[in-house]
Amino acid sequence: MGRRREGLARPRDRHSAWLALAFAAVALVAACLGGVVGGMIGAGTVREEPQTRATQPARVDQAVLPRVVSAVAPSVVELRVTSLAGAETGSGIVLSDDGVILTNHHVVSGVDGGEITVRFNGERSTASARVLGTDARRDLALIRAEGVSGLRPAKLGDSSRVRVGSPVLAIGSPEGLEGTVTAGIVSAVNRDLRVGGDDGDPPVTYRAIQTDASLNPGNSGGPLVNMAGEVIGVNSAIYAGRTAEERTGLGFAIPINEAKKVIDRFDPIDRPGR
């Protein structure tokens, strides 16, 4: 996949910083001698806005968390993309009972001449999928799993109502570990990010939701959800520090309201849960 260029810069001051970002789910690239974690890394401009950083984590009734996971997990799928370049694993969010799925553009962008396989959470069954449309600038894509029915669509929330300090869960397949759940809070909102654009591809730009919920390769395309079980973001990027410790707690998600624009373009049918 992309060339790794970790640790490009450090914050310059408290109002602006240059961060290196790594797409979180372009992962598990098959190589002759075994799987190699891959990813695209670029320079990301992060402009900090007043009063956007969390100072106190919100208190959450721990009994709520299992209920949220039970409600959302069936709507999260694992995606395996195979091509001449190898194989990668990512995540996706079910949007319709007949197989429309939201994920990241970078998860499926290398599928030309290859195949997308969808594995449904908690099941052994799989299905092939085709791309309905992609938006490289927003790093979003819609695919459709073929020959399926009766899936549980995710409930989409309103990312304009997200508040710093709110508890969140991330669900996906980091390193191919299907259905992994991590918890955290919204650390900041409206982070101006610009990722990539160095290799001729258009840069990805969006105002991100920042979270300290652990994200790893394989999480990209999976949901960031609130305690109402609503998807508020699409997990997409992590800070590319020199070590795993430096990457911990710096994850970024594309707000779901931004994703709704792409959904409406490629799947304009009014469906429940949107």
List, by residue number, the catalytic residues.
106, 139, 220
Amino acid at 134: T
CA pair distance 233, 91, nearest whole angstrom: 13
Provide the token pair at 243: 């070590």
Cβ atoms < 10 Å from Cβ of 237: 35
Half-sphere exposure of 65 (CA within 13 A, CB side): 14
CA pair distance 20, 190, nearest whole angstrom: 17
Amino acid at 215: L
CA pair distance 175, 217, nearest whole angstrom: 6
DSSP letter at 159 equals G
The torsion region of residue 138 among left (phi > 0), alpha (psi -120 to 50) and beta comes to: alpha
Asked if 242 and 7 touch (Cβ cutoff 8 Å), the reply is yes
